[in-house]
């Protein structure tokens, strides 16, 4: 097994190992630089002179690790190559990391400016070397799980399209598809494998790590054509099986709506309510929203003035949105479009390069300043910091009629940022809504405090790079 589930969120073990190694390297870098500065006669913090001085070492490592996650460095390592990863590492360490550490130094005096600079310099060199070594390792077949799909029809082809090379799925290699019964073959003929006479021997000879069950005709299980005994034997010999739902959830971080059945939602280990978690999340939302208002009110004031000077009143724009359990509420934004953006009051999808957006509106959308009034919605309790983005009632009605299980995304409170916003590009169509729903359902099923923190950290990249803005 090359993955582990932490608080209902799947993490691939090679990348967890890389993160832990880098955490140790970051601790070592700041300690070494502190010793070096001391020998050079520079001002030293004197780590390890007492047990209470261990915490700055860990703080330094945690801050830079969070900056790494926020800039999508590990994702870039796999999807964009080493050069893109280097660029993101430089931004995350020298821009975000140094800024955060300087603020911490001003507040707590945990570091010196010289120590921050030299520690970040050494840290950068050490983690780039570790990632170069890691990149060489993860490209080998030994670290990639070899998957066989049982089925070669439409369902198998849909799964293959989600595992295509351009999707950059980490750690999985599909070695072929075994047709199920007499189903029509829809996958590439080069991927079709002969039906094994001995599944255990087949799994051994092909070094199969997992069998994904994806036949088009599900009734084969009752008709005796489904090789249940053979798959049980494989499981007993160390080759487990999984269905497409579980496989997509684990490997892609989404729930395949096309394969979803009501019974699975009811009996799965997710979609649970926790009163303690709800209370903790509400207190966290209140505290963070209040802090953000105290820090960001000058930017909110400047945004309001800019909107007023360019296109007059109203400065704020409000819409009805669908929230928890389908209850509608009024959401607030700084107005980024013309006053007549929706003539006749008819809801219209936002489009790429939308002509209705003003010049100030384009800037505040790219920087997400237009979203700041929603902090008021968070304080009111209409929204949370993390959750599915709330949609307009007019769109929800149409989408619920066209997309199965669409209303399930309203079983958790909507948020300022969400899992779908990280994983799916901005969309303004029914098909885009279907794609985003798969990630919203994953969040609804598996949401936790740890996952919320991960989403918030990774959203920094979305804001800094202006991704997903229309």
User: Which three-class secondary structure string do you get for 408-426?
Assistant: HHHHCCCEEECHHHHHCCC
81: DSSP letter: -
- As a whole number of angstroms, the distance between CA 63 and CA 29 comes to 14
Residues whose CB falls within 8 Å of the CB of residue 446, separated by 6 or more in sequence, listed in order: 8, 9, 270
Domains of the chain: 3-138 (no CATH), 144-252 (3.40.50.720), 275-465 (no CATH)
Determine if the pTM surpasses 0.75.
yes
Query: Is-contact 22 463, C-beta < 8 A?
Result: no
10 Å Cβ neighbour count for 262? 10
Q: Which residues are paired to 415 by β-bridges? A: 384
- As a whole number of angstroms, the distance between CA 100 and CA 95 comes to 9
Q: What phi and psi values does residue 323 have, to the nearest 5 degrees?
A: -115, -150
First to last CA, the chain: 40
Cα pseudo-dihedral 434, 436, 439, 445, rounded to 10: -60
What is the distance, to the nearest Å, from the Cα of residue 245 to the centroid of all Cα atoms in its chain?
18
Helix (H) / strand (E) containing 330 = strand 328-334
- As a whole number of angstroms, the distance between CA 246 and CA 34 comes to 48
What is the distance, to the nearest Å, from the Cα of residue 164 to the centroid of all Cα atoms in its chain?
19
E-strand spans in 143-281? 145-150, 172-178, 210-213, 241-243
Q: What phi and psi values does residue 391 have, to the nearest 5 degrees?
A: -110, 165
Angle at 398 between CA 397 and CA 400, to 5 degrees: 65
Tell me the pLDDT of the chain (470 aa) as tens digits.
566 777 667 777 777 888 899 999 999 998 888 888 878 766 555 554 555 567 788 889 999 998 888 888 877 776 667 788 888 889 889 888 888 888 887 777 777 788 888 899 999 999 999 988 887 776 655 667 889 999 999 999 999 988 876 555 667 889 999 998 888 899 999 999 999 999 999 999 998 989 999 998 765 544 446 888 999 999 999 999 998 888 988 888 889 888 888 878 877 777 777 788 889 999 999 999 999 999 999 999 999 999 998 888 889 988 899 999 999 999 999 988 876 666 655 666 666 666 678 888 888 888 888 899 999 999 999 999 999 999 999 889 888 889 989 999 999 999 999 999 888 876 667 888 888 999 999 999 988 888 898 899 888 877 776 665 55
């Amino acid at each position: 097994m090359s993955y582990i589930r932490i608080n209902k969120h799947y993490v691939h073990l090679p990348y967890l190992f890389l993160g832990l190694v880098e955490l140790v390297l970051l601790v070592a870098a700041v300690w070494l630089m502190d010793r070096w500065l001391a020998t050079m006669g520079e001002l030293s913090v004197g780590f390890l002179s007492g047990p209470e001085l261990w915490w700055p070492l860990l703080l330094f490592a945690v801050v830079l690790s969070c900056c790494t996650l926020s800039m999508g460095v590990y994702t870039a390592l796999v999807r964009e190559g080493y050069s893109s990863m280097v660029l993101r590492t430089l931004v995350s360490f020298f821009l975000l990391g140094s800024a955060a550490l300087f603020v911490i130094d001003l507040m707590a005096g945990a570091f010196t400016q010289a120590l921050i600079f030299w520690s970040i310099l050494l840290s950068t060199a050490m983690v780039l070397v570790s990632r170069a070594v890691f990149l060489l390792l993860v490209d080998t077949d030994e670290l990639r799980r070899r998957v066989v799909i049982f089925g070669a029809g439409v369902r198998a082809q849909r799964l293959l399209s989600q595992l295509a090379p351009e999707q950059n799925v980490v750690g999985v290699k599909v070695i072929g598809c075994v047709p199920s019964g007499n189903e029509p073959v829809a996958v590439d003929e080069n991927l079709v494998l002969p039906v094994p006479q001995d599944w255990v021997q087949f799994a051994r000879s092909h070094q199969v790590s997992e069998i994904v069950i994806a036949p088009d005709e599900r009734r084969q299980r009752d008709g005796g054509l489904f090789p249940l005994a053979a798959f049980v034997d494989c499981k007993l010999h160390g080759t487990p099986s999984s269905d497409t739902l579980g496989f997509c959830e684990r490997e892609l971080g989404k729930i395949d709506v096309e394969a979803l059945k009501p019974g699975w939602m009811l009996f799965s280990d997710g979609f649970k309510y926790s009163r303690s978690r709800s209370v903790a999340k509400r207190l966290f939302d209140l505290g963070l929203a209040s802090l953000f208002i105290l820090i960001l009110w000058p930017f909110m004031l400047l945004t309001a003035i800019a909107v007023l000077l360019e296109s007059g009143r109203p400065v704020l724009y409000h819409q009805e949105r669908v929230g928890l359990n389908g209850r509608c509420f009024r959401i607030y934004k700084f107005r980024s479009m013309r006053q007549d953006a929706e003539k006749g009051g008819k809801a219209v999808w936002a489009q790429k390069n939308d002509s209705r957006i003003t010049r100030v509106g384009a800037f505040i959308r790219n920087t997400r300043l237009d979203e700041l009034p929603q902090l008021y919605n968070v304080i009111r309790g209409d929204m949370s910091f993390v959750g599915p983005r709330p949609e307009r009632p007019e769109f929800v009605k149409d989408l619920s009629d066209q997309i199965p299980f669409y209303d399930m995304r309203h079983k958790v409170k909507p948020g300022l940022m969400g899992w779908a916003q990280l994983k799916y590009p901005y969309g303004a169509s029914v098909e885009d809504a279907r794609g985003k729903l798969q990630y919203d359902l994953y969040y609804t099923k598996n949401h936790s405090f740890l996952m919320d923190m991960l989403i918030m950290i990774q959203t920094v990249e979305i804001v800094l790079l202006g991704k997903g803005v229309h």
